A and B are shown apart, each in its own frame.
Chain A
Amino acid sequence: EDKVVQSPLSLVVHEGDTVTLNCSYEVTNFRSLLWYKQEKKAPTFLFMLTSSGIEKKSGRLSSILDKKELSSILNITATQTGDSAIYLCAVEGGETSGSRLTFGEGTQLTVNP
C-alpha cells in the first residue's frame, strides 16, 4: 500500500524564520511528488518534482526531491503570516494509470507576527 508521511505535523514560528517541512514516501512505480498549500479551502498547487526535475524554486519557497532517500523537503525562507496553512505532500504512483495521488497528513504551519 502506498504511504506518505509528513513531519512535523505542526509547526509554530515567528515571521522571518526559515522552515523546512519533510515528506517521505513508499510507493510502487513512483512518477512524481507534489506539494500543495491548503488554507481554509481548496489545496493550491505549489511544486511538482519528478526524476527529471528534482529541485524547484519559486520566490521564498523551494523544494528538493531525494529519490535515493525517498523523500522531499519544502523550504520557506523569511516566513510571513500569509504562509500560515496546511502544507500537503502527495505522491503519484501505483499500478493503475491516471494521476491518483496519495497524500500525507499535512504539516500545519502557523506564522506569528
Chain B
Amino acid sequence: GAGVSQSPRYKVAKRGQDVALRCDPISGHVSLFWYQQALGQGPEFLTYFQNEAQLDKSGLPSDRFFAERPEGSVSTLKIQRTQQEDSAVYLCASSPGANVLTFGAGSRLTVL
C-alpha cells in the first residue's frame, strides 16, 4: 500500500487479556520498528526488525511483550496478560533502510 497500515486502530482489553496488534509496512521496506507512545509523551522504542530478523528487542518492557515478522513484511506485536500500564498508542514504522521512518497511524490500546 501507499503507507504503513496498522490494525486495529482502537482496542479495549480487560486486564489480563492477550492482544495482538498488526502492522503492514510499506512494500519493500526492509526495516520495521515498533514504538510505544504513552499519553503526553514521545514515542519510546520497543523493537526493530531487518527483514524477518529481530535485531533489537531491548525496548520491550517485559516478557509479556513479543513481536514477530516471520516473512519479512507484516509484523505482529503481541501483549500477553495486559496490565493497565500497557495502555498507550503503539506505533509501527518502516523504512527502506535509511534513517527516515514512515509511521502508521497507530493502534490505541486501552486496558481496563
Contact = CB atoms under 8 A, between A and B. Distances in A.
Contact of B4 (A31, A42, A104): A42
Given A42-B4, A42-B105, A98-B31, A103 B99 contact: no
Q: Interface SS of chain A: helix, strand, loop or mixed?
A: strand
Contact of A101 (B3, B58, B101, B102): B101
A88 B102 contact: no
A45 to B, nearest CB: 5
Interface in B32-64: 33, 35, 40-45, 48, 50, 55-56, 58
Interface string B62-86: 0000000000000000000000000
A103 B56 contact: no
B41 A105 contact: yes
A99 B99 contact: yes
